[in-house]
Amino acid sequence: MKGWIILRRFFENKKLIVLLVSVITSFSMIAYSIFSQSQMPKPILWVNDVTAVVGRFVSTPTNAMMRFTDSINDLMNTYEDNQRLKSQISSLEELEAQNEILQSENEELSALLDLQPSLVGKNVIASSVISRSPDTWLDSITIDVGTNSGIEESMSVMTESGLVGHVTEVSATSSKVQLLITENNQMKNVAVSIQTDDGIVSGILSDYDEKTQELILKQVPNDAKVSEGNTVTTSGLGGVSPEGLIIGEVTSASSDNFGLSQSVRVKPAADFKDIRSVLVIMTLNETSSDTSADSEDQAAESSAASTDTGE
């Protein structure tokens, strides 16, 4: 009777039955695998197949996502590399442009230094153009020297090629230079000398033809033999510019409407469209200075003579 009760309780305990069945099944599979090495147990094969299918199901999208992530990372790295390269290229181009500008300015300054020996007897100061308005490109420029450097109004300004204008406004550290070719030139009527085969001929620089880009000289004697290629310089007369500053070369000459004088056209020696470095001629009109000195000497002599007469 007790044995029957124990057996009934055993079968009523489902957990114990499941555990017992699992143990028996496991031992059976182990025993079967031991005694049948040539063939894997079907349950194991089934488990392996299921595991493989599940593994492929999980690994395929996972691998695809990993490859996609790697591609995105490679793309981002490539983009960053391209941005760095573009930045480096831009920096190199900027440095190259700055180098070209500095080289050009250096060449201009070297040319100005080479020109200075030809200005013996004249005090000069090198300067750079710091401002030039597009609206008045052919009218005026602003340079980086002023009264602190001894600059005064009416001083002549030239490039390594020739005269370009005169100082019209001066501040402590900068000056405005009005160009020879401007229509509003306050320093017009510059006295010039034309070096002809027969000698020096005088004239007045009075106008500029913007269409042909030529300076126009007036009051040139009608009988003067002015030829193409004759050099035109400042004469030092008139109180505007010192003597001997190059202006340009004659391109043509013709009689005016009245036949009393010639109108001479001159190709400027300086390039007015591209002015970066200039020389300011610190010496004002030497002829005027000499004239003033002579007048003072004459006045002193007259005063001395009057004193002697009084005695």
pLDDT, tens digit, for every residue of 216-239?
999 999 989 999 999 999 998 877
CA distances from 99 to 1, 91, 113, 123 (A): 115, 12, 21, 31
> Residue 218 has what pLDDT?
92
For residues 16, 18, 23, 24, the Cα torsion angle rounded to the nearest 10 degrees is 110
Question: 3-class DSSP state for residue 123?
Answer: coil
Residue 175: helix, strand or coil by DSSP? strand
Q: Which residue has the tokens 């099944």?
A: 25
Q: What is the CA radius of gyration of the chain?
A: 50
Separation of alpha carbons 67 and 82, rounded Å:
22
Distance CA 302, CA 307 (A): 9
pTM above threshold 0.85: no
The whole-number pLDDT of residue 21 equals 67
- E strand spans, the chain: 124-131, 140-143, 156-158, 163-170, 175-179, 190-196, 199-209, 214-221, 231-234, 246-255, 261-268, 277-281
219: left (phi over 0), alpha (psi -120 to 50) or beta: left
CATH superfamily entry for domain 190-271: Rod shape-determining protein MreC, domain 2 (2.40.10.350)
Residues facing 193 on adjacent strands = 202, 233
Domain assignments of the chain as residue spans, ordered by start: 190-271
- Report helix angle 14-35 to 2-12, nearest 10: 80
Instruction: Say whether pLDDT at 188 is over 90.
Output: no
pLDDT tens for 122-158 read: 788 889 999 998 888 889 999 999 999 999 999 999 9
Q: Which of 9-18, 37-46, 133-142, 301-310 has the lowest mean pLDDT?
A: 301-310
Distance of CA 32 to the CA centre of its chain: 90
Q: How far apart are CA 92 and CA 249, in angstroms?
A: 42
For residue 191, list its beta bridge partners: 204
Question: What pLDDT is recorded for position 145?
Answer: 95
